[in-house]
Amino acid sequence: MGVSDAVSGTLAPLVDFVFPPRCPLCGDGLAAQSGLCAACWSQLAIPGEPACIRCQRPFGKEAQAGTICAPCLAAPPKHDGIAAGTLYNDASRRLVLAFKHGRRIALAPMLARLIAARLPALEGDWLVVPVPLHRMRLWSRGFNQSALLGRELARSSGAGLVVDGLVRRKRTPVLGGLSRKARARALQGAIAANPRRAARLKGANVLLVDDVLTSGATSAACVGALKRAGAEKVVIACFARVLDEALDAAASHETG
């Protein structure tokens, strides 16, 4: 245990007395400042098995182990897997909004623990690289939420943290609602490997960290930049993954 951990443990009772622990979703009282209440935990959708062996997209309960999903068959991904802490639903959306836009950065350790629980065994040396923000967005928000998650994952896994391994060269519009081709055009040349980190990225195994994985356009641009920089493997790690069909399959599995 480090000095900072020891100090945090010593001060925890005082902090809990001054600021009684509350569930960040519903506001109910908690025993400690470390998670959600039982009712809100149950609202999170955790990806399960069986899943695609390339991208970990969850299938219905009838699917066989070792199956590759249709999107990966149609366009084999350049990444080496996706580890998502949750599937994107109302509960995870509210947590992301509180974390990113509500500036509740104290949620980072809890969100990172959910991601870490879904990570494969990281054998050998790994680097944690967050999805970058453009400097103007970073200035207006005050923090990069992916970097906060990356810091927690690096701490828990023992991987190295390269917070500026990627840079965003230009501002991009909101990608929601754009077609696949429009997203690709918007991101063309927007993300690149940081030349100052070239030596660390070459031949490295990289955990690419983001808060939400939606269409995959941004993460694909990041993976491409890392692979061009010589990264050996790139596994995407996110808190919430948007897969509506997987939510439907999970719901049918629970009621079946």
Are residues 16 and 63 in contact, defined by beta-carbon separation less than 8 angstroms? no
pLDDT score recorded for residue 161: 98
SS3 at position 10: helix
Look-up of token digits 């590759």: 68
Please give the structure tokens belonging to residue 132: 């970058």
* Lowest mean pLDDT, pick from 7-11, 111-115, 169-173: 7-11
Q: How far apart are CA 248 and CA 151, in angstroms?
A: 33
pLDDT at 214 > cutoff 50? yes
Look-up of token digits 């391994």: 165
H/E run at residue 208: strand 205-213
pLDDT higher at 28 or 12 = 28
pLDDT score recorded for residue 33: 66
Residue ranges in 60-193 assigned as alpha helix (H): 70-74, 90-96, 108-116, 135-141, 145-157, 180-187
* Helix orientation angle between 180-187 and 217-228, rounded to the nearest 10 degrees: 40
pLDDT at 42 > cutoff 70? yes
The model carries a pTM of 0.87
The per-residue b/e assignment along 141-159, b for 16 or more CB within 10 angstroms, e otherwise, is eeebbbbbbbbbbbeebeb
Q: How far apart are CA 5 and CA 16, in angstroms?
A: 16
pLDDT score recorded for residue 253: 47
pLDDT at 232 > cutoff 80? yes
pLDDT at 139 > cutoff 70? yes
Look-up of token digits 């990172």: 112
Please give the structure tokens belonging to residue 75: 């366009």
Residue 163 is given by DSSP the state T
**Would strands 166-168 and 191-193 be described as parallel, antiparallel, or unpaired?**
antiparallel
pLDDT score recorded for residue 15: 44
Confidence of residue 240 (pLDDT cuts 50, 70, 90): very high
Fold of 44-255: Rossmann fold (3.40.50)
Q: Structural domain boundaries of the chain? A: 1-42, 44-255
* Averaged pLDDT for residues 204-212: 97
* Averaged pLDDT for residues 67-96: 95
Are residues 176 and 216 in contact, defined by beta-carbon separation less than 8 angstroms? no
